[in-house]
Amino acid sequence: MKKETRKRVAILVADGFEQVELTGPRNALIGEGFATDIVSSNPRSVKAMVHDRGGRILPVDVPLSRARPVGYDALLLPGGVKNPDALRLESRAVRFVRAFFKARRPVTAICHGPIMLIEAGVLRGRQLTSFPSIKTDIRNAGAKWVNRPVVVDRALVSSRKPSDIPSFNREMLRVFGPNGKRKA
């Protein structure tokens, strides 16, 4: 009997992430058989935002202090204004993100999520999109910013805002490769 294999996706967040930018892609991943872990420096739970109001509290699956990039096949970076701004101040979170690029594993970022890519210093020569308010930051990091619902540059998938999530999910699943339902 063959053992079932499932690709694993880390979802790196802090308090203040945009709720639908985590739940929408996560549900798409789970629906295709991928395993997902919410990773955070908050050891127990993280609080979402729904625009400018408080959202759900979600349990943390793996504290950042125990998370190892080698244990994951891909990385998802939801946005929200407060979330990446808090994460970028944590050197462990920045190293976590950088490790996915060093290993050439797929990375996705929505809305303000690319702030972590700027902080990790991995954007030079790339093309991506984001929430328009950080386009100058992306350009200053050496990347080309484009205003499209979803942009794929090698194994980097980026998107602008919650309404782009259906397009984002489609490209994320394509880039992440064969789904988790495949047998080894």
What are the residue numbers of the active site? 111
Strand residues in the chain grouped as ranges (E):
8-12, 17-18, 35-40, 45-50, 53-59, 62-63, 74-77, 107-110, 127-128, 144-145, 150-153, 156-159
E strand or H helix at 110: strand 107-110
Residue with tokens 């994460």: 87
